[in-house]
Structures are given as structure tokens and as C-alpha cells.
Amino acid sequence: MKLAVIGATGLVGRKIIQVLEEKHFPVDEFVAIASEQSVGKHIKFKGENYRIVTIEEGLYASPDIAIFSAGAEISKKWAKKFAKKSCFVIDNSSAWRMDENTPLVIPEINGDTITAKKKIIANPNCSTIQMLMALSPLHKKYTIKRAVVSTYQSVTGSGAKGIQQLMDERKGKEGIKTYPHQIDMNVIPHAGSFGEDGYTTEETKLVNETQKILDPNISVTATAVRVPVEGGHSEAVNLEFENDFELFEVKRLLGTMPGIVVLDMPEANFYPMPILSNDKNEVFVGRLRRDFSQPKSLNLWIVSDNLRKGAATNAVQIAEYLLKQGFID
């Protein structure tokens, strides 16, 4: 098993390496790929130091699996080149998500869309992954008509520069500005870039990816907000169903979904928070309550570590699925 990580020195790349180690993923040869600034330096994996190489060198190494986490431009340029060498590409960027021939995969939900012939597999957006982990069992049972979501997205979603801006502002230092406004002691209703329709790319991803993964008939509207939190995205979601529900059954369905943890005892101040999800692979769900303003509707609160299940963990789970299905010799 020869595995490459493209973008190995970034926030997500390092988290992928950490998750691979934690899961004892079987790697005989590890290839660490990063930008020119990092080439020649070393990165540790399973106790050994590996020299960081260029993406050209990584392609020449002919890995069995390449996990891309270096942005859409790199993925668009290089993913097909790796795939042509019979390498399975697991891509964390937005480059291939909406390509009709590319599976967009959350293994617990639609792992069966992965085939031996489709070499490029897209990892959904972090906010989409955690939301659909909760919505999937409820959609199967009650059929979701409409979802209204507001996200509260951590600065880690903007990479190391997002964290740096928050920390600099907290210390009263001047530094790199990732956001158009101060993020410390503030919230910014702007994640991604704005389109002509007034929605941001982060909001549009939630719509398009939900419809591709779960059901094209689900109507989705979203507002994405950046908050001064270092790790973990939160979402307030309102669902309208075709069929009515009982809250105890909703809790049971969520509690039996792999990868979901229900934290729902508000009387004891027990509910999901980013600080509880930090560096954990699970998706946490709570604040479950009926929406009394309209029939067959539910409110819920969803929290997950966006670097874990929202990116690295989901990518490694896809790699595990490839091995389990015998797609790699």
C-alpha cells in the first residue's frame, strides 16, 4: 500500500496524517507532498521522518491512494493525472464535488456510490458532512421537504491564516487579515465568496451537495456565518417533513446512526458545543425540539470538528472503504 497526502503540511493535511496514525491505516510506503516552500523538509508519520517532495515526484511514485488537500486549483490540474495511473484520488477541495461522474461521498450514507472504475472521489464540504450525518436517518424515515440552516463556522475553516488573524487580534497585534472585518469579539455573516444572487459559496455548497448526496427534491436554504471559535462548526437546522414524527423516535434514529452522538439534556445544560467536539471524529446533535410554528417540523443543533469528520476523518474513511471493498490490490 502506497499512500500520498498532497498538502501534507497544511491544517487538514496534518490532521489526515494524525487520523491515519490513529486508525492504524496500513501504509507500506508514505509519500508526503507539499508546496515548493516545504520541499526538502521532513514530516513525521508513524514515528518516521519522511522527506517532503514535489507533486511531480509524487505522481512518479505511483501511489495507490492520493488524498488531496491543497485547494481546488491543484486538484483540477493534478487529480486526473494521478487517476490515469490507476491511483484512487480522494479530493478535499470543491473541484470535483458537483461533477456528475464523480462520487460525492459520506461513507456512512452513500459509500456504495464508490466503484472500482471511478478513480476520483470527492469529499463534501465540512458543513455538509456534519449536517447530512444527522439528516440522513431522518430523511429515510420521514422524508425531508425543506431544510433551513444557519452555520456558525470556526476560523479553522479558513486554514492557518484564519487562526492567525483571530490570535493576533486577541493579543492586540497587527497581522495578516484573512477576513474583511475583525473576527475576535465579532461574527461575520460571510463565509466563502459572494455570488451574483447574494449567497456565498459556502451557502451554495450546502444546497447543491445536500441535493446530490441525499435527495434532489429537498429544498435547502442557508446562511453561513464565521465566528471567533478555533475549532468546530455549529449549525442550527430547521426541517420540514412529509410525514409527522415523535421526538423520542427522532432521538432513537439519531442515536443508532454510526458516527452520531446525541447530547440532548437541556435541563442539565447538556448540549453540543464546539469545545466538546474539538479533536473528536463524531458528529454531536442536540437541542431537539418540535417547531410549533408549522406542522411536521423539527429544530436541531449539530456540531462537529470541521478538520476531523468535516475533512480528514471522512477522507480516511473513504480510503478504508476502498480497502474493505477490495478495490486496491
- For residue 262, the model assigns a pLDDT of 98
CB 245 within 8 A of CB 299: no
Instruction: Provide φ and ψ at 318, rounded to 5°.
Output: -65, -45
Type of residue found at 179: Y
- For residue 273, the model assigns a pLDDT of 98
Burial class (CB in 10 A: 0-12, 13-18, 19+), 85: middle
- For residue 18, the model assigns a pLDDT of 97
Give CATH for domain 2-124+311-324: 3.40.50.720
- For residue 329, the model assigns a pLDDT of 76
Bridge-based pairing state of the strands 260-262 and 283-290: parallel
**In this structure, which topology does domain 127-306 adopt according to CATH?**
Dihydrodipicolinate Reductase; domain 2 (3.30.360)
**d(Cα 329, Cα 323) in Å, to the nearest integer?**
9
Type of residue found at 15: K
pLDDT in tens, 114-149: 999 999 999 999 999 999 999 999 999 999 999 999
CB atoms within 10 A of CB 34: 22
- For residue 130, the model assigns a pLDDT of 98
- For residue 263, the model assigns a pLDDT of 98
Catalytic residue among 126, 139, 181, 190: 126
Tell me, yes or no, if 181 is annotated catalytic.
no
- For residue 25, the model assigns a pLDDT of 97
Which regions of the chain are under pLDDT 70?
Answer: none
CB atoms within 10 A of CB 173: 9
> Shortest CA distance to 5 belongs to which of 77, 63, 80?
63
CB 226 within 8 A of CB 190: yes
The pTM for the full model equals 0.96
Domain boundaries, the chain: 2-124+311-324, 127-306
**d(Cα 226, Cα 189) in Å, to the nearest integer?**
6
Tell me, yes or no, if 233 is annotated catalytic.
yes
